[in-house]
Each structure stands twice: as structure tokens, then as C-alpha cells.
Structure 1
Amino acid sequence: MKLSRLASVAATLAAVLGLGIGGAGVASAQEAAATSYVALGDSYSSGVGAGSYYSDSGSCRRSSKAYPVLWKNANAPASFHFTACSGARTTDVINNQLGPLNSGTSLVSISVGGNDAGFADAMTTCVLQGESACVSRINQARQYIANTLPGRLDAVYDAIRAKAPNARIVVLNYPRFYKLNGSCWVGLSETSRAAINAAADHLSDVIAKRVADHGFTFGDVRGRFTGHEICSGDSWLHSVDWLNITNSYHPKAAGQSGGYYPVMEGLA
């Protein structure tokens, strides 16, 4: 009788545990299916440089290989809105991208701030005008990042939270662009490359601080891109692309899938 009772208890416990595991799996699947995801931001979120652009996205160059689409394909959210746009600044996000957000939005991703800081102009200066002009322009960008950008980030983060009060908001940063002492033999000087990397780190630090103060989630992609910078021999970033200049200094498809998507997947 004792053995029989023990067997019965064991069977009951196994059934309960089995139901518990099954229930958790069902809950997780239901949670994923109920997700309402909106992807905001600039060219690093729209997927410039990755190719395979949606024809209806025009100059925004939204790519089917961008990390928001990769996350959508892997997780099948209940709804997905992709409003990220090449060249977007914080004001562009506020004015043009927040339409899909509402109280039912449960997940938002964004990368923004690089264009506010004059990224494109700084890189053009570095490529065309030499080391002294490059370092001077980078220092000017860093002053903007330190003194003006925090307020711009606060404005866009506040606007997102106001329209999506219940959402988990994931803010992704930018990679370092160059592997120092790498395999590049022509182009920018090592001093210019180091200055560009330092500015990218400064930008990431400012973004991370504002994200933390707003209670959002910071997604740091720099670790994923380490070993895959320009001059690494296995770059996930375009260098200057004279045949398609818009690709320059943007992630390739491998940078979206190997750099940005795993960070987004791990946080969302």
C-alpha cells in the first residue's frame, strides 16, 4: 500500500509539473503573439546598407534585412509598424514616426542621435579634408553631444513614453567604426580613426545615461561588432562606398543580423 501510494503521489506530481511547464510555454507563446511592436529611428534601424529595400519606403530605405524585420520574422508579434527612416533626427522621429504608437503598444525600438550630432558631415569632412580638419570636426560634434543632444534625446524619449505608456522601450546605440592598428593601408589616418571611435563611445555614453534616466532599456551593440569593424578583415560595416555613397559607414546585412538583431532579441 505504501509503495502504491508513493507511486500515485509521484504520478500526480509529475502530472502537475507537466501541466506547469506546459502552461508556462503556452503563456510565453501567448505573450509573444500579443506583442504590438513599433520600430522607430534612423538609418541604422531602417537598414540602410543592408540592401533589399521595400519599394514603398522611398528615401527612408527600409530594408527587409534590418533588425526590426528580423525580430518580427522570428517572433511573429500581433502587429508590427516600421517607421524608421534614413536621415532621421530626433525631431523627425517626433514629427513623423510616432503615429502607430498607442496605449496598446507593448514594444518599441529606436536608434537616434547620430544625425543630430552631424555624423554624415563629420565623416565627409574626415574623408575629404584630412586629419586636422577631421579631428576638429569630430571635436565639434562631441561638444554638441555633450551640451545639446541630451535635451534632444529627452524630448524624443518623453514623446515616445507619452504615446506608448505601457511599452517596453529598447534604445540601441552605434558601433565603433574602426579596428585600430587594423588591416587598412589607405584612407583615414590612425589619429582620425581613433577620434571617430572615441566620438562613437561618447555618443553611446550619453545615450545610455539618458536611457537609464528614463527607465528604458539600453542595447549596446559595440560588443557584437568587436572584431567586425572597418579594417578588421571581416567588416560588418561599409567603408566609403563610392558606387553607392549612402551605404558608407552603415551596417551591411551581416551587421544587422549578427550585430543588431541578437542584441534586440536578447532584450525584447
Structure 2
Amino acid sequence: MAKSPDRNIRRASPSRTRQHLRHGLVVGLVVLVGLGVAIAAAVLLQRQLTSDEGASGDRFVVADLPDALALPEAPRYVALGDSFSAGLGIAPAAAEQPGCGRSTNNYPNLLARRIQAATLVDATCAGASTAAYYDVQATSDPLGPPPQRDAITRDTDLVTVALGGNDDDIFGTLIDRCPKVASLDPEGSPCVDSLDVDLLARAEEVRGRVLDVLRDIRQRAPDAVILYVGYPMIFEGDTCAAMGFAAGDAAYASKVFARIDEVQREAAAKADVPFINLRSATVGRGICGEDPLVAGFEPTAFSAAAWHAGSEMAGFVADTLASVLTVG
């Protein structure tokens, strides 16, 4: 026999039931909307974080990076190079070695922090050529910095090197002379026409010098990881107000630095040293790019030094190098 309903149970009226349903729907909608907003905010935040990683993330892609290279914990790191590696114009300036234009936020310093290096010996110096690897470099300091190779010891774990653009005053000749004569023939090549040297031929000579440097590094630090860091895109063939070159001279400058990049890459391959190809990763970001990373003949908001990159480039290089290194 079925049980009879409990007379003490209160039954909700139809109107009260509808009120509860409406209230529940409103609460549910509020929760769903809030959840949607939270998810959207998280996605936007992630995108913002990706875009603010100091030129890493999706903004640049370096081709042909090596597989992970092992370093011991608290490695000893030596950085060799010219003004690009020294971080000329990036604040704050390092106090040691006057005349070299080093920054404490250049990519060697940023990389040392990322890999938790026990020691960073930053031997980079503005104006350095491959000759500065072997000899005292002439700077505003009467004593000059010591040969860069003196920083390398047998217990060195990591060496980064970027030299060659200043050999035989290749870079200096372009940036010192070409803007001065551009007005003589803006559509022509007054700078190239006035030179008594072939900068493309000079660029060819860099190959053997870089190879000799890399072989000497290997002899001095036989167990070290060595990375050769190429130059970013500087000249891309076109001219603009920021560059101040005549059209033909801008095209020539692009060929010269494309050749330097090529011979550096060939020398690194012959020495069995990974080459970090920044030039191809920064196409469209040279002096005349829509969003340049390298300043022209005047300092800019992103670079306090004319003809040089700023902190965004330093962060990108440090992130790229760190990505191919494993510590411990």
C-alpha cells in the first residue's frame, strides 16, 4: 500500500517556484559571464606576456638553432665581441674598462643571470676587431683593454663571440663616409664611387680571421661550449631618413653585411661551432624597417647610441642563447 503524503510538508506555490527559477537563472548567467571575462582576461594577459618577453616568444624565429648544449652548474662564462655585444648605449654603463662602452644590461650580462653563471668575464669592447682578440685595443683609455683572449682559461665553460664587422674599418667606413656624401647623388652611389677600397673584398678576409679566433678559443678552453653570435639585420637594401645613405650606397652596405654574415657562418661551420643567425631572424627590423631595432645616424628612443641596437635586441639575444643551453 502506498504511503499517504505527509501533511506537515509545505508545498511551494507556483509563483514562488518561478521566482526561485528566475533567481537561479540570473545567478547562473552572472557566474558564466564572470567566468568568460576571467578566461578572456587570462588569454589577453598571456598574449601580453608573450609580446613583452624582450623580443622572445613569437616575435622572432632564429633558424637552425643547435640542440641543447650542456653546461655545469654555476658555469664560468667569457663574452668576446665588439660594440654589438658590449651593448653600447644601453643603460646603465659598466664602470670597469673605460672606453669600451659596456653595459651591465648587455646580452652577456643578461645571459649570465639566466644561466646563473658563477663568473662572467665580459671582455667585449666597442670598436673591437678580430685583432683585438690578440692585442691591446686602442680606446680612450691610454692603457687600453687587454687582448680579449686573455679572459679565456682552461676551466671556462661557455664562450660567446661576435667579431668581424670592424675588421679593416668596414663598418666605420660605411657609417662615417656614406651619410656625408649622400646629397651629391641621392639616387646613386657617391660613397662607393669615392672609395679607394673594396669593402666586399675586405669582408671576404674576415672568414679566415674568425676561423683562427675560434680555433684558438678551442685550444685555450677545450671543454667549453662556444657560440658564435651573428649580427642582426642592419642594412636591408633600402635607404631612409634615419640612415641618410644614397640609394645605391644603401644597397651596397646591405651586400657587404650579408657577405660578413656569410663568411662568419662558414668559419663557424668549419670550426664546428654553432652559429646564431640573428640576421635572418630580424628581417624587416633594420634601420629602415617599420619597427626598427637598430638606430641610424642619430640616437633614438630605443637606442642611446647611433648605429646600434638597444635593450630589446639584448633581451632577444640573451633569451635565444639561453634556450640552447642546459645547466646542471
- TM-score above 0.5: yes
Classify 1:36/1:213 alpha carbon distance in 2 versus 1 (closer, same or farther; 3 Å). Answer: same
Contact 1:183 1:233 in 2 (8 A): no
CA distance in 2, matches of 1:44, 1:37: 18
**CA offsets 1:19-64 (integer angstroms, 9 cap, x no match):** xxxxxxxxx9x95524221001111111113232112231111112
| Gaps in structure 1 of 5+ consecutive residues | 1-27
CA distance in 2, matches of 1:266, 1:134: 41
SS at 1:56's partner residue?
coil
- Residue equivalent to 1:223: 280
CA distance in 2, matches of 1:138, 1:254: 37
Moved more, 200-209 or 73-82: 73-82
- Residue equivalent to 1:171: 228
- Residue equivalent to 1:85: 125
Structure exhibiting the larger radius of gyration computed from Cα positions: 2
Contact 1:111 1:171 in 2 (8 A): yes
- Residue equivalent to 1:54: 94
Shift of 1:77: 1.3
SS at 2:134's partner residue?
helix
Shift of 1:261: 2.2
Shift of 1:104: 1.3
Residue 240 of structure 1 aligns to which amino acid in structure 2?
Answer: F
**CA offsets 1:89-111 (integer angstroms, 9 cap, x no match):** 11211231122312211110011
SS at 1:33's partner residue?
coil
CA distance in 2, matches of 1:60, 1:253: 17
Shift of 1:242: 7.1
**CA offsets 1:52-87 (integer angstroms, 9 cap, x no match):** 211223111111221111101111112211111111
Moved more, 189-198 or 211-220: 189-198
**CA RMSD across the alignment:** 2.7
Shift of 1:113: 0.4
- Residue equivalent to 1:11: none
Picking from 282, 290, 314, the partner of 1:256 is 314
- Residue equivalent to 2:163: 112
CA distance in 2, matches of 1:138, 1:161: 37
- Residue equivalent to 2:266: 209
- Residue equivalent to 1:125: 177
Q: Which has the higher helix share?
A: 1
- Residue equivalent to 1:21: none
Residue 166 of structure 1 aligns to which amino acid in structure 2?
Answer: D
TM-score (norm 2): 0.65
1:140 equivalent in alignment to 2:191: no
How many residues of Structure 1 are paired with residues of Structure 2 in the alignment? Answer: 237
Shift of 1:151: 2.5
- Residue equivalent to 1:16: none
Shift of 1:183: 6.5
CA distance in 2, matches of 1:213, 1:138: 32
Picking from 183, 190, 194, the partner of 2:247 is 190
Moved more, 154-163 or 186-195: 186-195
| Aligned counterparts, 1:6-17, within 5 A | none
- Residue equivalent to 2:10: none
Identity over aligned pairs, percent: 24
TM-score (norm 1): 0.79
Contact 1:221 1:263 in 2 (8 A): no
CA distance in 1, matches of 2:155, 2:242: 52
Moved more, 128-137 or 118-127: 128-137
CA distance in 2, matches of 1:240, 1:73: 32
